[in-house]
Amino acid sequence: MTSPRPDKPAPPPPPAGFLAVAGVQMVSGTDPIANCDAAAALIAQAARGGARLVVLPEYFCLLGRRDTDKVGLREPEGDGPLQHFLSGQARQHGIWLIGGTVPLTSSRPSRVRNTCLVYAPDGSRAARYDKIHLFGFQRGEERFDESATIEAGRTPVVVDVEGWRIGVSVCYDLRFPELYRALSPCDLIVVPSAFTHTTGQAHWEILLRARAIENQCYVLAPAQGGLHENGRRTWGHTLLIDPWGEIIQVLPEGPGVVAGTLQRLRIADVRRSLPALTHRIM
């Protein structure tokens, strides 16, 4: 895994009322070291572009040949090469880093927590979110059952990033709007994901735009996107969406970075013109 090293200083942060963000899209393979090296290069690219907050996709560190491969990669909370890598990257670039997900130990040795960790610019951990909703799907030969290897979390998480309220979710959580109501009001929702090509082609964009529209906030969804070493194909289409549901930027497939700037005025304008959040009665 890439060790922290001196890098070109990032541009100065934008003025108050703005937050530069970036979502990293990857096509992760079966080698965690190679995956971390690929992530490091894309994090550096995002940081050079001025991003203050960078978000990796779900399981940036491993898409194994078997579902159980991630169990062998699990780490105890607060220690392990994956967590040290994420902390070091945040510290090296002086950014907020949301580390996609990594497998952490659970109460059952045959399962892991699918955990999204948030690191501050000094490398300290600022938040932990364990994926609540576990994906299950079967159509023909295509079958997924995350509950066989993952222990679900229970607690919604909102983290403060330089005064911006960031709601954290992961992949299949996207289909459960009640989670996002529990996070509301947010300025930004992040959805690191590894959507299948089948479900992504059908539902990815419409679900992400709906979450942005109904919560009147930005949504940043970094994804796995392409044909993986294990034969799996993910949908990609990393997206940054504004509070009106308009797509700011999208990357259809392959490794890369989607970047943009959040604007408080845009959030305020949308909520003032259509004050749906204040009209809630349930």
- 2 band by pLDDT with thresholds 50, 70 and 90: very low
pLDDT digits (tens, 9 = 90+) for 12-69: 555 679 999 999 999 999 999 999 999 999 999 999 999 999 999 999 999 999 989 9
171 is known as an active-site residue: yes
pLDDT digits (tens, 9 = 90+) for 216-245: 999 999 999 999 999 999 999 999 999 999
Mean pLDDT across the stretch 6-15? 55
Integer angstrom CA distances of residue 199 from 101, 144, 164, 233, 257: 20, 12, 31, 11, 22
Is residue 13 assigned to a domain? Answer: no
Given this model, what pLDDT does residue 282 score? 85
CATH number of the domain bearing residue 198: 3.60.110.10
Is residue 249 assigned to a domain? Answer: yes
DSSP 8-state code for residue 197: H
Is residue 8 assigned to a domain? Answer: no
Burial class (CB in 10 A: 0-12, 13-18, 19+), 84: middle
Given this model, what pLDDT does residue 146 score? 95
The model carries a pTM of: 0.94
Alpha helices in the chain (DSSP H): 32-48, 69-72, 81-93, 177-183, 197-199, 205-215, 264-273
Is residue 267 assigned to a domain? Answer: yes
Catalytic residue among 36, 61, 131, 217: 131
How many CB atoms sit inside 10 A of residue 136's CB? 12
Is residue 204 assigned to a domain? Answer: yes
Catalytic residue among 36, 116, 171, 186: 171
Is residue 9 assigned to a domain? Answer: no
Contact 97, 90 (CB under 8 A): yes
Residue keyed to tokens 């009147």: 216
Beta bridge partners of 240: 220, 249
Is residue 69 assigned to a domain? Answer: yes
Please give the tally of structural domains in the chain.
1
186 is known as an active-site residue: no
Is residue 280 assigned to a domain? Answer: no
70 is known as an active-site residue: no
137: containing domain: 20-274
